Amino acid sequence: MRVLIVEDERDLADALRRALEEEGYAVDTAQDGAEGLHKARSWEYDAVVLDLMLPKLDGRAVLTRLREAKSTPVLVLTARDAIQDKVALLDLGADDYLTKPFALGELLARVRSLIRRGCSDPRPMLRIGQVAVDTVARVVRLGDQIVPFSAKEYALVEFLVVHRGELVTRTMIYEHLYDESDDSLSNVLDVYVSRIRKRLGNDFVRTRRGEGYIVDA
């Protein structure tokens, strides 16, 4: 899953990026509201973390203008804790908010929850036959064994399983699992898929030649 962080405080943006990347997310960042709005409109993010106080275009304006075009889930970061502000944010189309300062663990949990709500199947545990994908612990089990996957491989398994029964094109995978600075992927995608097959069974992922991949529902 791919997340955009719009935050002008460099240290905070870096900390959020690292934390999300460790969980296997692809992460893009924007340092002002104008850049954030441009990126949020240009790409299919699974969630946007949006600070309110931003140079060039403030978070409210970004949210309002994004909502004219897209329903991407947005978590707003706000320094204020006045109730009216929170109500106003939700009315503007924010899906959730977090008051600064916050614990990183809480932000990660809220991002997971936002992404789940945007999926056709919002349950935290997804099962296909003997395979169970635990989207909270971010692990895959085969029977009662945890299957060792890297964060990126896990992200691919989760994405395929969330879209089970659908054709997942290579373009969808690039847009949702890789950030804008990553150009290494076209050759590693096949490697990831073959590792997934080796660990979860050859039939777990089918290739539709020239189009993409399918995990049967």
Report in angstroms how near the CB of residue 13 gets to Ca ion at its nearest. Answer: 9
Report in angstroms how near the CB of residue 76 gets to Ca ion at its nearest. Answer: 11
Report in angstroms how near the CB of residue 9 gets to Ca ion at its nearest. Answer: 5
Report in angstroms how near the CB of residue 31 gets to Ca ion at its nearest. Answer: 9
Cβ neighbourhood burial of 85 (10 Å; 0-12, 13-18, 19+): middle
Q: Which is nearer to Ca ion, 53 or 92 (CB)?
A: 53
Q: Which is nearer to Ca ion, 46 or 51 (CB)?
A: 51
Q: Which is nearer to Ca ion, 40 or 131 (CB)?
A: 40
Report in angstroms how near the CB of residue 51 gets to Ca ion at its nearest. Answer: 4
Number of other CB atoms surrounding residue 201 within 10 Å = 13
Asked if residues 4 and 29 have their Cβ atoms less than 8 Å apart, the reply is yes
> What span, in angstroms and rounded, lies between the C-alpha atoms of 129 and 142?
9
Q: Which is nearer to Ca ion, 97 or 204 (CB)?
A: 97
Query: Which residue is nearest to Ca ion, using beta carbons?
Result: 53
Q: Which is nearer to Ca ion, 9 or 179 (CB)?
A: 9
Q: Which residues contact Ca ion (rule: CB under 5 A)?
A: 8, 51, 53
> What span, in angstroms and rounded, lies between the C-alpha atoms of 141 and 130?
8
> What span, in angstroms and rounded, lies between the C-alpha atoms of 4 and 46?
8
> What span, in angstroms and rounded, lies between the C-alpha atoms of 204 and 197?
6
Report in angstroms how near the CB of residue 85 gets to Ca ion at its nearest. Answer: 15
Cβ neighbourhood burial of 42 (10 Å; 0-12, 13-18, 19+): exposed
Q: Which is nearer to Ca ion, 64 or 169 (CB)?
A: 64
Query: Measuring CA to CA, which residue among 133, 114, 131 is closest to residue 74?
Result: 114
> What span, in angstroms and rounded, lies between the C-alpha atoms of 200 and 145?
11
